[in-house]
Amino acid sequence: MDGNDSGDKKQDNADMAAFVQNLLEQMQSRFQTMSDSIITKIDEMGSRIDELEQSINDLRTEMDADKPPSPSAPSGPKNDSKSPKGP
């Protein structure tokens, strides 16, 4: 019976090794899929951030273009609280 027990143990060990190997390959495949997905999402976020930065820069440029040039001397009457008001 020792021959059969030894053969059974070897078969059990081989089955366990095959099972563990298969499990490790499945885990590696899943981790690779998750990693690829995360990298894709990070790349998408980077693109969105670049687009947002460009939009902000465009808005700044547009706001600067809409501003009248700041005059060095005032170009019209100002309401000055110190100036006398009418009678």
* SS3 category, 57: helix
Buried b / exposed e across 48-57, counting CB within 10 Å, b at 16+? Answer: eeeeeeeeee
HEC per residue, 5-56? HHHHHHHHHHHHHHHHHHHHHHHHHHHHHHHHHHHHHHHHHHHHHHHHHHHH
pLDDT tens readout for residues 59-77: 999 999 887 766 665 555 5
State the pLDDT at residue 1. Answer: 46
State the pLDDT at residue 73. Answer: 53
H or E element in which residue 66 lies: helix 2-66
In the chain, what is the greatest distance between 2 CA atoms, to the nearest angstrom?
Answer: 127
State the pLDDT at residue 3. Answer: 53
State the pLDDT at residue 35. Answer: 98
pLDDT tens readout for residues 10-64: 889 999 999 999 999 999 999 999 999 999 999 999 999 999 999 999 999 999 9
- Residue with the bigger pLDDT between 64 and 79: it is 64
State the pLDDT at residue 54. Answer: 97
